[in-house]
Structure 1
Amino acid sequence: MSRPFSDHPDNANNPDRINKEDDLETDVDTTTAGKQAGARVSHNRSSVFVSRASDTGKPTLFNDEHGNLKFVNLICRRPVLIFFIAFSLCIASTLILRRVVKENPITEDTNQYNVRDIRSIAYDTLRLAKEEVKDTYDIHLENKRRLQDSEDDARLQEDFGDITLWIYDAKTDDGVFTKEGIPKIRAAEATILKQENYPEYCVLKYEALNQTTGEEYNFTTPECDKPLSAMNIYYASEWDSDLADEIINEFKSEPLNIMRFNALSLCVEFNFFCDRLPDIFNDEDKEWVTDMSTKMNFMIGKWDGMGELNPNIEQVTEFMAYMKELTTKQFSVNYFLDSNFNLTNQVTMYSRSIFYWGQLLNGTTNEEDSETKLKKFILENLLETWTGLTDKKNNEEVQIYYFMGALIFDIIQMILIGDGLKALGSFVFVFFYLRYMLGSWFLTAVGMFEIVMSLPLAWLSFSYIFQIKYFSALNVLCIFIVMAIGADDIFVFMDSYKQSAGMGADVLNSFETRMSWVYRRSGSAMLLTSITTCGAFLCTLFTPLAGTRSFGIFAAFVILFDYLLVMTLFCTSVVIYHDRFENKSCCYCKFWVKSTPTATETAMKRYSDGEVLKMDPISKFFKEKLGPFMLRGRNRIGVGVVLITWIILAAIYAAKLEPTTSAEQFLNESHPLQIGVSILTDEFPKTQEDRTTSIHLVWGLNEINRDGVNQLLDPEYVGKASYSSDFIFDEQCQSAILDVCSQLQTDENFEEFILRRDGVRSIDCFVEQLGAFNVDPSATCADVRIGDWTNADWEVSPDNLAASMDGFVSKSACGPDSATVKNYYEGSMGWDGKSMRYAGLSIESKSLDPRGVLSEDRTRVIYDKFIQLAKELDQKMESACKTKTTMTDLDQKFVFMNNQRIYRTTAISGSMIGVLVAFIVLFVSTRKLHLSLFATLCILSVLVGVIGSATMLGWTLGTIEAILISILAGFSVDYVIHLAHAYNHAEGEPDERILAAYGEMGVSVFSGMLTSVVASIPLFFCTLTFFAKFGTFLCLTIVLSWIFANFGFMCLLATFKVSMDRKWL
């Protein structure tokens, strides 16, 4: 191991550090081969690893007449000048970078996909067309928009600004809705409802719908919109127990009544599909459904949360269980009940509620000011109370969690700060370990400086010289990568410098000669590992994902600049250290005065006196203990058995690695935010109150034009929208689209794919509302649903389309919110103010939502179903609308599904390409097939070992795991290449070379391993899953790389003893 310079043998104040030749030979292997090898190494120490300059007398472009490197000569003559030039360039580059980077540099991953894939093509085809149509429409109606947006017409708190989402997790087997648990939930929600200033921040309702007449009426005074909570039911202002029993008994006494109600309710309540009713039902059945629906509507109408707790909790829960079974009533209770709640299991272990916050708030003029005011109110009045409610010791019945958009950024920021401090622990350890190993505060400071400076120099070159504008969030990982690799390079350089003190007169006859030897020897070793590591990272260029490619290129730049800084800035600091600090105590008053004699002169004198450089304990262990141990045949058999057994075991587990089948976690599973997200994702069915992903089927578009797209150089430009010149939105096309809407409402094959709202499949078909409007401009949404307008001439002719659309687009859409037709249907209605550029329909998915991430397999089932539908519709719609079907979502669910496939398929292939690169670099540099082959086998073993270990830890192949595996080769090549390089440049027989390689590189490799492993440990405890898994992955890779390099690679060399004289090229 490299040791503190206070222990360095060149220190003349400590003669105990000088040993004679016979001391060096102690503890060497007692075998004949070991004795002979040890004797030869100690007898001719200066001949081992010498890549020294030769005195040729003929200067070259890089060497002087003595064979010394001209650049090294310059450094030795002007170290301070060159140091400050390099130092100033680093500082200047950082200042330039700080000046040019004016905002968040990380590229949003909204365009992180394969631009040639059919999913991304369909996505951008509709997305860009939608944006372009919206821009055209806004320009066309600019004056009208200004008038509509006038503050005079605005009503305070009418729009939704934010929500507070409460999640309740039962602590007992009785569920959350118990006599003890319900009051706890009520108390939590009362912190909002009873807050005296709540009316100034809630969503205000200015109108309401009369449930009897169906007409809207205005409130005299706007009222706060009721929260969506089961407490509205348990604390209903009125509860008719007798009527509840009657309704329950109707279904309990005759279970077929549930089927009868569901079969008839859509017709009776909404006049839907009456012509499709089976003949077995008669008018009496319809009257029964009407009567039951009226009674249930009466009960539901009293669910306002304004009363006291209903003492008959069991009856309320049972009533909810029956409501959940009814197609047109389940929407009133589904949101509060978990997926396992049903008639036979009337216990819900989880529940949830939503409180709505309004905007614009009084005194604010825009959304940003309104959000700021709301956030201030929450922080000052509610946050502390909420934090207390979520404490695990708050009560023994219900664990409470909450989310709010206004607070998410602060929570994530706190998590990032906490994880950043943990990551800072890695830097602190590396700093003090460098200080211990180097024995100099000066060298340690410069070493850490050059490691850190690799990042801004790489950034400046990457983004502003080479103009690569896609800056991936993965690039943050390069901080830890360069910390591990940079420290390893410093150890290699310093160990070469220390070992040069014992290389004899050929190396020590001048300081320039000594530093040329150090520069060549360490530089060639680091160059080989840097090229291999850069090549491994550049293998990410084979992936079609711009974010991963960006990371690979940036990581390669970081490794390159780290190498350049070690060979310039750090090399210069070593010269300064040699000239001014090495033979002085740390408190020496004249520390800047040049040392006399210099450390090189001292080393030369010791060599002349016959003194031999004392090895530090760890170097001695590797050379005199581990080396001879590996030379014994029986020891190698034991090592081989252990390693082969491990490889077989790891390979078995690696083969079991499967793609993830659940949503991937963003935070540590124990973090309250992640617990809440997991509950929402895994424990509740999708309901109409949840935000869902819409799947769009549109006609009128050609595939997007991708000419000139290069995401690395211009991540924002992904192509141009393209419209079909053949598309005509005429009567035939309108009728065909309506037929598709009707087909999807009744096709049983889509029951598991389409969300229901109010008992009806949620299909947003603007043609329905347009047809009703064309027949009667005053038609209501109820009229649209009943469908009598289809009996008239409802289609709009192309000649009258512009006139009809002018009035139609400003009407309120028949959707769950108060958006206009233009805004609500913008994903399926491409009206730009003059013409219909595209038209179609949107389907709310029963499983997909914008925030959740499903596994690839689950998403693919949905995708395959709708892509099959699109292909079937092409046969019909191509003749009606003159274009093929474009099927996509606008939340990138299908795009990400393909990304998951890319991560899965390129993870292993990317690593294999990295291994191949390592083999090629090794073979070209050593021209020894057996060295290259043995090293490659060790790298492959590391790859298998890491993947197998990940499976043993319970990991599945998700996005994070795939990214880490794809860069595996970049981490696993350094140690085996260092030993291979040392073995290649050693002299003698294989046994001598093995001892020499251990003696030269064992300490450097061990120091690099220890630094990386300990530095990765703080990452284990990060809250962000990515950093926690990266820390585990880094630790596994480094440890296995070190084991297979020191035991696997050296065992192969010692066993096969291939002659180095054999020529392979």
Structure 2
Amino acid sequence: MKKANFYIRFLVNHPVLMVLISIGIPLLLSIVTFVNLNLSTEATSYGDPDDDRTKNHMALTEAQQNIEKTTTQIAKQSVSYYPFVILYEGKDKTSNVFGDEELEFILDLEKEFIQVKNYSFHCVLENEEKECEMPFSMIPDLTREKPTTAPTEPYEYPLFEYGEEIKEGRSLSTALDDQYENQRLLFGSDFDAGSQEGRYLRSIFYSGLPLEGYTSQYDRAYDQKKIYSEWVSWALDVVEKFKEKNKMNVWVGGSWWIVEKELNSMLLHDYLFLSISFVFVIVYLWVMTKSGFLASCGMFHIVLSMPFGIFIYNKIFGIQFFGSINPAGLYIIFAIGADDIFIFLNTWIHSRLAGKHTIESLTTRMQWAYPKAAQAMFITSVTTAFAFILTAMCPIVEVSVFGIFAASLVITNYLFVITYFPAIVIIYEKYFSHHHCCCCCSAPRSIPGGLLPYESEQGVFCSPFTFNFFRLFRSSKNNCEIQKGNINWDDLGAKNNASDENTKGGDKVLIGDRNKKSKRKTSHIQQQLSQTNSSYIAMNKKDFELHSVKNNTDTNTTTQTTANANADENSKTRTMSGNEKDLFQSILQDPEGAFSVNKLKMLDRFMYSYFSKFLTHKTIRKVLIVLFTCLTIFFLIQVIQLGPATKTPKDFPDWSNFENFNTILKNNFESTEESLLIIDYTFGLKTFDMSDVNTYHVNEKGKLVYDTTFDLRPTANQEYFVQLCESAFETKNLLSKDFNECIMSDFKNWVGETNFPVVDRGNNELAQLMKNFTESEQGFKYIRNVDYDEKSGDIKFISTFFKTPLNVDLYSAHKYLKIEYEKWVKFESKMQKNAPEGMQISMFSSGGWFEWMRTQEIFVITAVTGAVSSVILAFIVITLTTKNWIIGLLSVTTISSIIISTIGFMKLIGWELAVIESVCVTVLAGLTVDYVVHLAHAYHEFDAPTRIEKVQGSLYAVGSSVLSGFVTTLGSTMPLLINYLITMNKFGQFLIFSLVLSFLYAFFFFIPLISVCGPRSRHSKKFLSGNINFKSDFFKKLFRLSKKDKDNVENEVLDSDTSDYSSEDDKL
């Protein structure tokens, strides 16, 4: 055995120091990060920053904000903002909200609502009287007072003057038709004018900005929003108070801050369920490792991966935006972290069977196990991390940062599992493995997690932090004999030698088939394990005597044994731990005295003896390959039909206030002004330059670029603008019915036919008249649509808005928005053909809706490119690490099938590519490569004459780890199914069915496939063997044991010339 390198020796000799270093530095960096945390949930851009639709929207937004910044002072609470809508719904379909009791309930609610603390500091004030404007409500109330800064003045509702007439029998609808036609929008579509009955009614309370002490709504906007948010909390308390009376259903909405309150409540509920995942993972780790110490320490580094991942995310990558779906990465790291723990422990267990030189000491065991585990975890971690990082190609920042954050967690977890956790295992072996519980001191304890490859005959476990109740019901007589050292080593050796003789002919009676007495040919791995056991017993016989004599009270015997031990020091014996005694006990109680499949851990025994035989059966494997190939083709047909969302996705559950409010509003009320798609048509703006902007930095903004050729002063240009407005009015289906507003047409009417177009003689006559118009009552609605140059005084840009017939509350899906977008592209192209000089550059935007349409398109593109790129990356990594292109090809074939099947299953259950669905598809490859990569790497590493035995060896090596990782991931994601938010709930569903499909394809498609088509030898130079000979083996250098050590541990595998192996794959 070559001398171990410095790192291995340091790890084994100073494990406590290694733990302090590997945990202390990340912990310190995490603390510093959180002290100086620079994260925000507000992004620079939520769309594609390189798309013209995004630039147009941001350009107009920035231009309008500049108007507010340059305005000296906007009247306090003069701009309507943040509507607070109260929607009333009858309890059932026959309910009437216009009944006497129902109206009294509504009156009382609204009366108390306007008395909410500081209501007068948030309502919209009338320009002259500086009093609160009347809420948009249809409820007549003779006793209510009007809310003002002086709340003693009488308050009249719109129907006050009709109150007596309505009581006398005059229909409410007649009163509406007289003066309040627009207020018909407050009634539900089911309102019956004849019977004056209906199930739905709404009232709207507008808030006004800027608040007192602020110049505009953009002046310290965050502070104003915070003040309004506090007031919303008080208002919601009033509504909740009346909800408890249960007279009718009351829903509220209209403002983001109302939605935010409910969203925060649901997020708190959902994050609490993260603790269920935490508990499940740690309990499962405890059960599988049979050690509270290992489970707790392993879970500690998984949890620490999160703050350290944020350090990498925020400080190394420099990302300041933290997306709303980033917390979903925590569920992913729970699963990946536990999977890596199982891989390392499984490799550590198997180091016991690697050969007599490997088990000489903890250093030699770690020297054997560490590079293998580190390389196996490196392959999966790199593949998974890069698959996540590939999402950074997505221009949608929300998707991009999620992938980078998830990759950061994967990277940090890998760093911990190759530095911190190996030291924890050494600490366990040195200080805990030989200790007994106080409740089972009379019995030897089994190894945590089976840190030996065999199970205890007792079938129970006892470890630090574990109380062994099962021991109370079991006999400990034989165990006590074992502890006292009463082992007949000669009998043990004789049994083992006899077994060796019996196996020389190639046949032996397997313990698992003892009742059948059937004879089978000894497999490659069985021969290795049997030979290892023989050498292990011979080497440790005197060690066991030395350890056992400590429990013997006979002084003479003690002296005798001690002398024998001293005499054998030259034989390099060592003191045995309690773990090794359990191994000897297991072998001693085996009548055959040799390798016994029955003595393997239950999962290893299942994988080795039964599962591998089932998967590699001559007929079964072919059936499985055909079955999963047909399944992939079926799902591929579904994938082809998948496209952008055709309906607005839900974000909240059906029972939530938000979902009920929106559903009722869309289905039972006429469209209000806020519901229609608004198009802003602009001259004077060229673009919004974001070429130097890092979209991950929340404080960086682009630069607004004005059109320097724009000039509205020529009379021909003014007439052209009016012509554009008239053309829009006349174009069929372009604008909503009866809409006829346009800034230039209204300006023309304001100045008069005789004074239009305005002749500008160089004294800014046009600009001055336009400013007077926008400050007048007729043109005040356009005050944010015109800006002026500070030096010349000329009009810098001008914009007008058009209302389209599209109700975006109902039809915001891609196909509807695309129809409207194409209409306006065609209209703009038509108008630009005849545009005079100075008006040839124009743009239109839609308040972000066309930006959202482009985002939906990007989701589809990113999902496809991300999946394809991840598959290509997986092929490169697997091929490089295994140095076999056949294994790489079979692996990516399986991974591609998993991706296709998962996406196809999404279509099958009715999902469409909205936000969360597109995110899922984009990161899919990162979630599905692990199982296949583990099995592929294990197949390559295990050297055996036939494919069947290579499959058998790979399942024995990592099968139980993959299964444990599957169970852990499944259990940790289950709490997502009971989350309130649809986004997180869907993400949980996606994780589960992608996980199940990954597991099924890895075992029931990849294993049969590689047993038929996989390479047989790692040493053949033939092209069809798939082996690739690199001059420089990067991965071997990366994980080599020492600088001078080019060979693996001796007796790791019984290598031989396998180039002429004959296939025995079908003999099973």
If the TM-score is normalised by the length of the shorter chain, which range does it land in? Answer: 0.7 to 0.9
Report SS of the residue matched to 1:629: helix
Instruction: Give the AA of the match of 1:847.
Output: L
Alpha-carbon shift at residue 159 of structure 1 (Å): 6.3
Aligned to 2:609: 624
> What is the rounded CA distance, in whole Å, between the counterparts of 2:105 and 2:405 in structure 1?
52
Instruction: Give the AA of the match of 2:246.
Output: N
> What is the rounded CA distance, in whole Å, between the counterparts of 1:512 and 1:734 in structure 2?
87
Aligned to 1:72: 8
Alpha-carbon shift at residue 667 of structure 1 (Å): 1.4
* Structure 2 residue corresponding to 1:554, chosen from 391, 397, 405: 405
> What is the rounded CA distance, in whole Å, between the counterparts of 1:653 and 1:496 in structure 2?
40
Aligned to 1:119: 53
CA contact (8 A) 2:87 2:200 kept: yes
Alpha-carbon shift at residue 230 of structure 1 (Å): 4.0
Deviations 1:445-492 (A, max 9, x none): 221222122233232233223434444444322212211111100110
The answer to which structure, 1 or 2, has the higher relative contact order (CA under 8 A, 6+ apart) is: 1
CA contact (8 A) 1:200 1:362 kept: no
Aligned CA RMSD, in angstroms, stands at: 4.0
Instruction: Give the AA of the match of 1:721.
Output: V
Aligned to 1:856: 814
Aligned to 2:388: 537
Instruction: Give the AA of the match of 2:705.
Output: A
CA contact (8 A) 2:644 2:913 kept: yes
Report SS of the residue matched to 1:984: helix
Aligned to 1:922: 878
CA contact (8 A) 2:344 2:373 kept: yes
Question: Is the alpha carbon distance of 1:204 and 1:913 closer, same or farther for their aligned partners in structure 2, counting shifts above 3 Å?
Answer: closer
> What is the rounded CA distance, in whole Å, between the counterparts of 1:799 and 1:931 in structure 2?
79
> What is the rounded CA distance, in whole Å, between the counterparts of 1:368 and 1:418 in structure 2?
26
CA contact (8 A) 1:697 1:870 kept: no
Alpha-carbon shift at residue 408 of structure 1 (Å): 3.8
* Structure 1 residue corresponding to 2:252, chosen from 375, 396, 402: 402
* Structure 2 residue corresponding to 1:1013, chosen from 970, 978, 992: 970
- 1:730-809 alignment to 2 at 5 Å? 730-750=714-734, 753-754=735-736, 760-761=739-740, 763-765=741-743, 767-768=744-745, 770-771=747-748, 775=751, 789-793=752-756, 795-797=758-760, 799-801=762-764, 805=768, 808=771
Question: Is the alpha carbon distance of 1:563 and 1:108 closer, same or farther for their aligned partners in structure 2, counting shifts above 3 Å?
Answer: same
Aligned to 1:778: none
Aligned to 2:830: 872
> What is the rounded CA distance, in whole Å, between the counterparts of 2:811 and 2:423 in structure 1?
51
Question: Is the alpha carbon distance of 1:995 and 1:436 closer, same or farther for their aligned partners in structure 2, counting shifts above 3 Å?
Answer: same
Q: Does 1:424 align with 2:275?
A: yes
Instruction: Give the AA of the match of 1:892.
Output: G
Deviations 1:772-801 (A, max 9, x none): 66x4xxxxxxxxxxxxx1233451516232
* Structure 2 residue corresponding to 1:836, chosen from 781, 786, 795: 795
Alpha-carbon shift at residue 329 of structure 1 (Å): 7.5
Question: Is the alpha carbon distance of 1:124 and 1:798 closer, same or farther for their aligned partners in structure 2, counting shifts above 3 Å?
Answer: farther
Aligned to 2:135: 227
User: How many residues are aligned here?
Assistant: 868
Alpha-carbon shift at residue 512 of structure 1 (Å): 0.9
TM-score for the superposition, normalised by structure 1: 0.74
Question: Is the alpha carbon distance of 1:486 and 1:859 closer, same or farther for their aligned partners in structure 2, counting shifts above 3 Å?
Answer: same
> What is the rounded CA distance, in whole Å, between the counterparts of 1:234 and 1:947 in structure 2?
61
- 1:225-624 alignment to 2 at 5 Å? 225-232=133-140, 302=159, 306-307=163-164, 310=167, 315-316=171-172, 331-338=182-189, 350-356=200-206, 383=236, 386-387=239-240, 389-390=242-243, 394-395=246-247, 399-403=249-253, 405=255, 407-586=258-437, 597-598=576-577, 614-624=599-609
Instruction: Give the AA of the match of 2:86.
Output: W
Aligned to 2:111: 193
Instruction: Give the AA of the match of 2:54.
Output: S
Aligned to 1:1050: 1007
CA contact (8 A) 1:811 1:820 kept: yes
> What is the rounded CA distance, in whole Å, between the counterparts of 1:488 and 1:853 in structure 2?
44
Q: Does 1:184 align with 2:168?
A: no
* Structure 2 residue corresponding to 1:695, chosen from 675, 679, 698: 679
> What is the rounded CA distance, in whole Å, between the counterparts of 1:905 and 1:723 in structure 2?
33
Deviations 1:414-452 (A, max 9, x none): 111101011221112112211222222332222122212
Question: Is the alpha carbon distance of 1:697 and 1:432 closer, same or farther for their aligned partners in structure 2, counting shifts above 3 Å?
Answer: same
> What is the rounded CA distance, in whole Å, between the counterparts of 2:142 and 2:865 in structure 1?
57
Aligned to 1:213: none
Aligned to 1:660: 645
Report SS of the residue matched to 1:666: coil
Alpha-carbon shift at residue 929 of structure 1 (Å): 3.0
Alpha-carbon shift at residue 596 of structure 1 (Å): 6.4
Question: Is the alpha carbon distance of 1:128 and 1:475 closer, same or farther for their aligned partners in structure 2, counting shifts above 3 Å?
Answer: same
CA contact (8 A) 1:235 1:306 kept: no
> What is the rounded CA distance, in whole Å, between the counterparts of 2:802 and 2:35 in structure 1?
48
Deviations 1:707-754 (A, max 9, x none): 43443467723344243245353333222212222333343342xx33
Alpha-carbon shift at residue 1059 of structure 1 (Å): 2.7
TM-score for the superposition, normalised by structure 2: 0.73
Deviations 1:70-94 (A, max 9, x none): 3111111111111111121121011
Deviations 1:238-296 (A, max 9, x none): xxxxxxxxxxxxxxxxxxxxxxxxxxxxxxxxxxxxxxxxxxxxxxxxxxxxxxxxxxx
> What is the rounded CA distance, in whole Å, between the counterparts of 2:68 and 2:158 in structure 1?
40
> What is the rounded CA distance, in whole Å, between the counterparts of 1:362 and 1:603 in structure 2?
79
* Structure 2 residue corresponding to 1:991, chosen from 922, 943, 948: 948
> What is the rounded CA distance, in whole Å, between the counterparts of 2:315 and 2:865 in structure 1?
31
Instruction: Give the AA of the match of 2:725.
Output: C
CA contact (8 A) 1:235 1:310 kept: no
> What is the rounded CA distance, in whole Å, between the counterparts of 1:711 and 1:360 in structure 2?
29
CA contact (8 A) 2:90 2:97 kept: no
CA contact (8 A) 2:302 2:333 kept: yes
What stretches of structure 1 of length at least 5 have no aligned partner? 1-54, 56-64, 139-144, 209-217, 238-299, 776-788
Instruction: Give the AA of the match of 1:121.
Output: K
Question: Is the alpha carbon distance of 1:462 and 1:356 closer, same or farther for their aligned partners in structure 2, counting shifts above 3 Å?
Answer: closer
Aligned to 2:914: 958
Instruction: Give the AA of the match of 1:958.
Output: A
Question: Is the alpha carbon distance of 1:193 and 1:813 closer, same or farther for their aligned partners in structure 2, counting shifts above 3 Å?
Answer: farther
Report SS of the residue matched to 2:692: coil
> What is the rounded CA distance, in whole Å, between the counterparts of 2:35 and 2:5 in structure 1?
37
964-973 or 436-445: which moved more?
436-445
> What is the rounded CA distance, in whole Å, between the counterparts of 1:732 and 1:114 in structure 2?
37
CA contact (8 A) 1:201 1:374 kept: no
Question: Is the alpha carbon distance of 1:572 and 1:190 closer, same or farther for their aligned partners in structure 2, counting shifts above 3 Å?
Answer: same
Instruction: Give the AA of the match of 1:860.
Output: K
Aligned to 2:707: 723
> What is the rounded CA distance, in whole Å, between the counterparts of 1:373 and 1:457 in structure 2?
35
Question: Is the alpha carbon distance of 1:1038 and 1:316 closer, same or farther for their aligned partners in structure 2, counting shifts above 3 Å?
Answer: same
Deviations 1:89-135 (A, max 9, x none): 12101111012115xx1342451332322212323343344445654
> What is the rounded CA distance, in whole Å, between the counterparts of 1:428 and 1:728 in structure 2?
68
Instruction: Give the AA of the match of 1:697.
Output: Y
Aligned to 2:994: 1037
> What is the rounded CA distance, in whole Å, between the counterparts of 2:770 and 2:1013 in structure 1?
87
What stretches of structure 2 of length at least 5 have no aligned partner? 146-156, 442-462, 466-573, 1029-1068
Deviations 1:598-628 (A, max 9, x none): 4676589789986758322122112111111
